Amino acid sequence: MIHIKKIARHGYFDGSSIAVWYIKCLSTISFLLRIHMSNTKFSVLLRALMVAGLALGAMSAQAVDEAAAKAAFKDSKCTKCHSDDKDKSGPSYKKVAEKYKGQADAEAKLFTHLTTGPTIKVDGEDEVHAKAKGDEASVKNMAQYILSR
């Protein structure tokens, strides 16, 4: 008791210092909590970003929609002059894929070829190359199909 009184007299144990100590404790705890929370949020965010990145990667590496491409070739009458592996009036898609192998802009080039109607030679005669029907996504899918042969 005497000791406590002494300590109290010395001001170690008076109300105000306890309050200060209490507040310091609380702020330390909340500081630690905040770090923890922000770390949790950060890791959740990181995980979400990683998942999104993986999904994007998977999407870009995703197999072409072959059925849709085949239907589009039919619809645009490409089949009249092209097939997967036999040359008709036009080169086989396999040949086209070989020609563009390893070229980063191959898809863009085919997209242009299929949307701008370039003049080509069909059996020795100048002819405007057929334009692909369908929207951008469909034509891109056609290009990806051809390049994946």
Contacting ligand HEC (CB under 6 A), which of 24, 34, 41, 77?
77
CA angle 116, 119, 108 (to 5 degrees): 40
Q: Kindly report the number of other CB atoms within 10 A of residue 103's CB atom.
A: 11
Residue 64 interacting with ligand HEC (CB under 6 A): no
Element (H, E) at 29: helix 15-60
Q: Quick one: which of 66, 53, 60 has its CA closest to 141?
A: 66
- Under the binding rule (CB under 6 A), the answer on residue 90 touching ligand HEC is yes
> Rg of the Cα trace of the chain?
35
We find the least distance from the C-beta atom of residue 147 to ligand HEC, in angstroms, to be 9
**Which range binds ligand HEC by CB under 6 A, 10-18, 29-37, 58-66, 108-116?**
108-116
Among 138, 140, 142, 144, binds ligand HEC (CB under 6 A): 142
Closest CA to 90 of 65, 69, 114: 114
Name the minimum Å distance from CB 89 to ligand HEC.
Answer: 5
Q: Report the alpha-carbon distance of residue 53 to residue 47 in Å, rounded.
A: 10
Nearest residue (CB) to ligand HEC, 5 versus 125: 125
Contacting positions for ligand HEC (CB under 6 A):
73, 76-78, 80-82, 89-91, 96, 99, 109-110, 113-114, 120-122, 129-130, 132, 142, 146
